[in-house]
């Protein structure tokens, strides 16, 4: 069995969300196999959960280093996520059985295995329903999230289900700016020193390579690298009513899981 692996892309948030949504629809329709991809954000961006109604209106006027902070809505549930200094993963598959948290644990297994090989042991969060009152995804860790031994939330995840198909994506905090985080959420960001010598793009490349190998092992599949074609891009842009001169490639409706 093979899965499609889409190479790392750096794009504005609205395009990243459109890609995720479109890929899920193609898989649900039986057109595409399961998909794995990793991506980064062209500029600091806040993604809101699909059903999130509580958030600070001042976020619409935020800037960072002279650049406006983009505000987008995810197709998945959960709270707001600040995407800056992070890496996002996305998995689309189908055929998973059991409860929602069972699906999270099956999907997150490769993250735990991969990060363990990098020297970071992760376990699932244990927060109850209090997460609903917190607009900040990383302000609390649910059973869908992964935290370090000292309680630092490294990965926040969320899902969208359409029939038998599941889209799960999540943010991994690699090199977050603590001042920007405090500006957005009004709270101090605890920091974890990752046991990895690389920084910046080199760090991202290392994490992507390790997690890609872990995904192939955990899911028992062959990952076949296949970038988005020009035709696929045009279909994504038309469906989402977006305009983009050329994608930068340098590196709905359904049941939405809480996550994040």
Q: Which distant-in-sequence residues (6+ apart) come within 8 Å of 242 by Cβ? A: 14, 15, 18, 236
CA nearest neighbour of 90 among 208, 174, 232: 208
pLDDT of 140 reads: 53
Mark whether 137 is an active-site residue.
yes
Question: Of residues 81, 108, 137, 194, which has the active-site annotation?
Answer: 137
Q: What is the pLDDT of residue 136?
A: 42
Per-residue confidence (pLDDT) for residue 52, from 0 to 100 = 84
Separation in Å, CA 144 to CA 91, 157, 176, 232: 14, 6, 21, 31
pLDDT at residue number 143: 59
Report the C-alpha gap between 131 and 135 in whole angstroms: 8
60, 31 Cβ separation under 8 angstroms: no
**What are the pLDDT tens digits along the chain (260 aa)?**
899 999 999 999 999 999 999 999 999 999 999 999 999 999 999 999 888 887 788 888 899 999 899 999 999 988 899 999 999 999 999 988 777 778 888 999 999 999 999 999 999 877 544 444 444 444 455 557 899 988 888 999 999 999 999 999 999 999 999 999 999 988 887 777 889 999 999 999 999 999 999 999 999 999 999 999 999 999 999 888 765 443 433 334 444 554 54
pLDDT in tens, 230-250: 999 999 998 887 654 434 333
């Amino acid at each position: 069995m093979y899965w499609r692996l889409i190479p790392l892309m750096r794009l504005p948030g609205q395009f990243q969300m459109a890609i995720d949504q479109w890929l899920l629809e193609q898989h649900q329709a039986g057109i595409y196999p399961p998909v794995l991809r990793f991506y980064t954000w062209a500029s600091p961006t806040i993604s809101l959960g699909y059903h999130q109604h509580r958030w600070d209106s001042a976020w619409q006027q935020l800037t960072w280093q002279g650049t406006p902070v983009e505000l987008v809505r995810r197709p998945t549930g959960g709270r707001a996520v600040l995407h800056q200094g992070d890496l996002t993963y996305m998995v689309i598959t189908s055929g998973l059985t059991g409860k929602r948290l069972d699906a999270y644990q099956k999907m997150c297994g490769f993250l735990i295995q991969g990060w363990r090989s990098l020297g970071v042991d992760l376990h699932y969060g244990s927060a109850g329903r209090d997460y609903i009152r917190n607009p900040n995804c990383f302000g609390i860790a649910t059973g869908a999230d992964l935290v370090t031994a000292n309680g630092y939330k490294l990965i926040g995840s969320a899902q969208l289900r359409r029939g038998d198909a599941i889209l799960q994506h999540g943010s991994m905090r690699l090199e977050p700016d603590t001042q920007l985080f405090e500006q957005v959420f009004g709270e101090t960001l605890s920091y974890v020193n990752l046991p990895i010598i690389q920084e910046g793009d080199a760090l991202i490349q290392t994490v992507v390579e390790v997690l890609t190998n872990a995904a192939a092992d955990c899911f028992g599949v062959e990952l076949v690298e296949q970038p988005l074609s020009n035709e696929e891009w045009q279909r994504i842009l038309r469906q989402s009513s977006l305009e983009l001169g050329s994608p930068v490639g340098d590196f709905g409706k359904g049941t939405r899981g809480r996550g994040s």
